[in-house]
Amino acid sequence: MSSLIKLNIISFFIFLIPATEIAVQIIQYILSKVVKPKLIPKLDFSNGIDKENKTMVVIPTILNSKEKVQDLTRKLEVYYLANQSKNIYFTLLGDCQESDKQEEDYDQEVMQEGEKLIKQLNEKYKKNQNKMQIFHFIYRKREWNDKEGSFLGWERKRGMLTQFNQYLLRKNKKSISCKHLGKSRKRRN
């Protein structure tokens, strides 16, 4: 008798999984007929992006060598080639690696390589884009972090994007130094 009980328990679990799948499918079918779907509003960019909806495609990353800058700049170019539309801009947003010094030896090399490659891309794909360059390079400076006991970019990735947005909107609460097409910019509010 115990083998019959074991067989019944095993059979129950074997048939339970398909039975629940069937029940879920039936419930989903009924709900799709009873509850009418609501249209989600969307923007129509089939004719390109208009001036009011300018878009910046950003690659936020930690840069610690010119080889990484070269690799990511090639990717930035590929993204551009796949999305050639007016009012789309591309930025390599580089963050510094954590360090016990405010400036590392490779920082200058990274900034120079980024500036050089972005300038080359802008020359290669020069278009009348309302006087704004298509490609941009920004490299954040290190700040002292008491919690970490080292110099690093403020708040890492979230902070990098926050500072970048503040930089674009000219609402910096903290100063941000970056290289942008060969020009060092500092803004304060």
Tell me the per-residue pLDDT of 15-74, one tens digit each, with 9 for 90 and over.
Answer: 878 888 889 999 999 988 898 878 878 888 888 888 888 888 998 888 888 899 999 999
Q: Is 80 part of a structural domain of the chain?
A: yes
Q: Is 169 part of a structural domain of the chain?
A: yes
Q: Is 6 part of a structural domain of the chain?
A: no
Domain containing residue 177: 51-187
Q: 3-state secondary structure string, the chain?
A: CHHHHHHHHHHHHHHHHHHHHHHHHHHHHHHHHHCCCCCCCCCCCCCCCCHHHCEEEEEEEECCCHHHHHHHHHHHHHHHHHCCCCCEEEEEEEECCCECCCCCHHHHHHHHHHHHHHHHHHHHCCCCCCCCCCEEEEECCCEEECCCCEEECCCHHHHHHHHHHHHHHCCCCCCEEEEECCEEEEECC
Question: What pLDDT score does 76 carry?
Answer: 93
Name the domain count of the chain: 1
Q: Is 32 part of a structural domain of the chain?
A: no
